[in-house]
A and B are shown apart, each in its own frame.
Chain A
């Protein structure tokens, strides 16, 4: 298995632009998580899905952030409009029924 695949690896954009981060979970996994990691706030859970349904989005910072999971093999995290304080590494992770999480290599987002 190729593991959790995230794209792009790096994204540099200007303030106000729309950013879309993508994630392909491991086949057969039924949980998908989006995290954001910064030095100041550590590893924050933004949202997680179970069987493609959002279960808890209480960690999503504000309405500028949205996440979708249209099918079991794909999820997106969108920021519109982006701001410099959104700069961080965004991780996607998947798991099967509470088993350990498998992480992607992350997307490093820089908003100038």
Chain B
């Protein structure tokens, strides 16, 4: 990808389990964002974490950021079948440049 990598590339879990996705990046950032994409649609913003923050929560989502390791993780707790989608991290520089990782495809089996 242009900015970094996400792992795993694909993740399959049972409904009710937690899902963790990781994102690594290469350059200095202003903030990091996570997006979700359903098949055939545009990306939808989930959560934003600034470079001076270490953890953020929003509903069933928990995001961490380690700027020393240039990495972030997204945790979805108590997953549902409707969470099935692709998830992308995006890094935003101070100049506003937003570049995306390769994405993780999450399948939640009912």
Measured CB to CB, the residues of A under 8 A from B are 4, 31, 33, 35, 42-45, 48, 50, 55-56, 59, 91, 93, 95, 97-106
The contact sample of 18 A-B pairs, CB cut-off 8 A, is A35-B100, A43-B1, A43-B100, A45-B99, A48-B96, A48-B98, A50-B96, A55-B95, A55-B97, A56-B95, A93-B42, A98-B96, A100-B33, A101-B35, A101-B98, A103-B44, A106-B41, A106-B42
Task: Report B-chain residues with C-beta under 8 Å of the C-beta of A50.
Answer: 96
Measured CB to CB, the residues of B under 8 A from A are 1-2, 30-31, 33, 35, 41-45, 48, 88, 90, 92, 95-103
CA distance A88 to B4 in the complex (A): 21
Please report the number of residue pairs spanning A and B whose Cβ atoms sit closer than 8 angstroms: 61
Which 6 pairs show the lowest CB-CB distances between chains A and B? Answer: A103-B42, A100-B45, A43-B100, A42-B102, A103-B43, A45-B99
- Min distance, Cβ A23 to any Cβ of chain B, angstroms: 12
CA distance A59 to B96 in the complex (A): 15
CA distance A56 to B41 in the complex (A): 25
Verify B96–A42 contact, CB threshold 8 A.
no
- Min distance, Cβ B93 to any Cβ of chain A, angstroms: 9
- Min distance, Cβ B6 to any Cβ of chain A, angstroms: 9
Find B97's partner among A56, A97, A99 (CB 8 Å cutoff). A56
CA distance A50 to B93 in the complex (A): 13
CA distance A101 to B97 in the complex (A): 11
Closest to A92 in B: B42
Verify A31–B96 contact, CB threshold 8 A.
yes
Known: A91-B43, A103-B42, A103-B43. A33 touches B98 (CB 8 A): yes
Verify B43–A59 contact, CB threshold 8 A.
no
Q: Which of B41, B42, B97: most chain A CB closer than 10 A?
A: B42
Verify B92–A98 contact, CB threshold 8 A.
yes
Find B96's partner among A55, A103, A104 (CB 8 Å cutoff). A55
CA distance A45 to B91 in the complex (A): 12
Task: Report A-chain residues with C-beta under 8 Å of the C-beta of B102.
Answer: 42
Task: Report B-chain residues with C-beta under 8 Å of the C-beta of A99.
Answer: 48
